[in-house]
Amino acid sequence: MRSDTKPITSHLTSRRSALVWFRDDLRLGDNPTLTAALTSGLPVTALYIFDDATPGPRALGAASRWWLAQSLKSLAADCTKIGLPFAVRRGSAKTMVAEAAEEAGAEAAFWSRRYSADLSNIDAAVEEELSAKGVRVESFNASLLREPWEVKAKTGGPLKVFSPYWRAANTMGEPAAPLPRPKKADVIAGPTLGGVEIEALGLEPTTPDWAGSLREVWTPGETGAVEAVERFLEEGLKGYAENRDRPDMEATSRMSPRLRFGEVSPRQLWHAVERAKEEGMATSRDVEKFRTELGWREFSYHLLHHFPDLSTRNFQERFDAFPWSPPKPEHRRAWRKGLTGYPIVDAGMRQLWTTGWLHNRVRMIVASFLIKDLLIDWRDGEDWFWDTLVDADHANNAASWQWVAGSGADAAPYFRVFNPTLQGQKFDPNGDYVRAFVPELSKLPAKWIHMPWEAPGEVMRAAGVTLGKTYPEPIVDHYVARDRALAAFAKLKAAS
């Protein structure tokens, strides 16, 4: 049952509490689900379930698992601070939520909606189970500016092109102001449930513990998110419109994992950037551009809602006939490890491996390289990103890979092939981004850093670079590969 607008009142006397089931909304602030439970007048008990038992949903990737563990620890600590009992359990959501509701004596269960079909199917099954036991279910939108089904074409159907989508979304008025973060005085504590330690979920790597570099870069959890938002408003938002394509600058918000796990809400960000503008910390153009990027996230969810197989099937069916190469293991390995011989591609893939995050411009470059230069199916790359990104997202990852492949809605045309050398020169003009992640090239001057194979012998010697020894030769010739990709596309066009 959807009920954002319906006041919640309790008429039952035999049951006594409200159960809040946290999922991808791991925060207390601007959480409509939690606020509704707390204002219901019922004592409240909170729960998180790590469900690796229900068959169907895609298992979280390794980097996301690490993030989730940290974010849960942070949420647990925050719940304790406001006196809200919080338990973590592991198992099938359908069984676990019903059991927890029974134990807590819950007359109502509250949760935030999820939008990928496999997860919303689970939610529907849980709702059925609870309803059969007389437990009321209330669900809310805690992660999008607009519900994916609310924005419609004039004909009532889905919008497949971003600009009209975003125009239509913007005619629906300003997103509501964020809700305040609940305080201790707002909580009537419900029963404390037994649960498992977060460490016992086995979400974090042990042998080897590869997460050291993630720990250095990130502080997951709502407190870390609030600090990161403030830092972005003070240091990153001004100039965002101009600099957001520059991987060598700290010019974007890095909010993606926070949005993915719901440590921050899009409407908090929507309103925060306006506040920053009023305080003179950004221009209207910066604010507009940033909000448009939030719009791309909304659009991805709109697509996922209308096309649930977005991560596995070509949005444009004609791409089903695309003649992908069987992936050459050595090419795939070189791409994953950042050893392709193209410096901007290698810097990107190493940034991804060490930090779990990658700049948007570089995501496009490395994706184009895999799909078009190596002719490897976009789903192969989508899968690697799913495993290695801390922000791996059901909607954004699939929609973006299909965008680069040309198989998606409102996608880049397949014939637009990113030239990794020119992209590097344009968006990392001094080579600082490459130097940060490909240290073996750090002594090369800016002029040659994006094309070491062209550098004169004495420059290479002075920089200590020997191709094929200290740094790889390019694994493909970009111009040959580009022609091969265009020929494959021409075949597809002829066939469709």
**Residue 259 token pair:** 């949005």
**∠ Cα 257 31 92 (to 5°):** 70
Closer residue to ligand FAD (CB): 401 or 437: 401
Interhelix angle for 420-427 vs 360-368, to 10°?
170
Q: Which of 297, 372, 435, 450 binds ligand FAD (CB under 6 A)?
A: 297
Q: Any alpha helices (H) in 283-377, and if so which ranges? A: 284-306, 329-337, 343-355, 360-368
Position 146 contacts ligand FAD (CB under 6 A): no
**Token output for 408:** 């998606």
In the shown chain, the binding pattern of residues 342 to 361 toward ligand FAD, with x for contact by CB under 6 A and - for none, equals ------------------x-
Minimum CB separation from ligand FAD for residue 414, in Å? 15
Annotated catalytic residue 386: no
Secondary structure class of 110 (helix, strand, coil) = strand
**Does 294 interact with ligand FAD (rule: CB under 6 A)?**
yes
Let me know how long the chain is: 496
Six-digit token string for 19: 């159960």
Considering the rule CB under 6 A, would residue 375 count as an interface residue with ligand FAD?
no
- Selected catalytic residue, list 204, 243, 296, 453: 296
Interaction between residue 401 and ligand FAD (CB under 6 A): yes
- By CB under 6 A, tell whether 400 contacts ligand FAD: yes
Q: Is 296 helix (H, G, I), strand (E, B) or coil?
A: helix
Name the minimum Å distance from CB 310 to ligand FAD.
12
Q: Does 300 bind ligand FAD (CB under 6 A)?
A: yes
User: At its nearest, how many Å lie between ligand FAD and the CB of residue 397?
Assistant: 3
Binding residues for FAD: 240, 252-256, 290, 391-393
Please indicate whether residue 335 is annotated as part of the active site: no
**Residue 340 identity (one-letter amino acid):** T
* Whole-angstrom distance, CA of residue 66 vs CA of residue 89: 17
Active site (annotated) includes residue 293: yes
CB of 84 to ligand FAD, least distance (A): 27
Sign of CA dihedral 232, 237, 243, 245: positive
Verify whether residue 127 is a known catalytic residue.
no
391 lies in the site for ligand FAD, by CB under 6 A:
yes
Kindly state whether residue 296 participates in binding ligand FAD, applying the rule CB under 6 A.
yes
Instruction: Provide the minimum distance between the beta carbon of 399 and ligand FAD in the complex, in angstroms, as a whole number.
Output: 7
Which residues does the annotation place in the binding site? 240, 252-256, 290, 391-393
360 catalytically annotated: yes
Binding to ligand FAD by residue 418, rule CB under 6 A?
A: no
CB–CB of 278/234 below 8 Å? no
Report d(CA 469, CA 457) in Å as an integer.
14
What distance in Å separates the CA atoms of residue 259 and residue 2, rounded to the nearest whole number?
22
Q: Which three-class secondary structure state does DSSP give residue 332?
A: helix
DSSP 8-state secondary structure symbol assigned to residue 408 = S
357 is catalytic: no
CB nearer to ligand FAD: pick between 294 and 455? 294
CA distance 146 to 295: 10
Distance separating alpha carbons of residues 495 and 283, to the nearest angstrom: 48
Q: Given the complex with ligand FAD, which of 146 and 363 has the nearer CB atom?
A: 363
Report d(CA 202, CA 211) in Å as an integer.
13
Q: How far apart are CA 34 and CA 19, in angstroms?
A: 9
Instruction: List the catalytic residue out of 103, 324, 419, 453.
Output: 324
Q: Which of the residues 288, 293, 419, 453 is marked catalytic?
A: 293
Beta carbon of residue 395, minimum distance to ligand FAD (angstroms, whole number): 8
Q: Restricting to residues 228-257, name those near ligand FAD by CB under 6 A.
A: 244, 252-256
Query: Residues interacting with ligand FAD, by CB under 6 A?
Result: 244, 252-256, 259-260, 293-294, 296-297, 300, 360, 363-364, 367, 385, 389, 391-393, 396-397, 400-401, 404
* Residues known to be catalytic: 293, 296, 324, 360, 378, 401
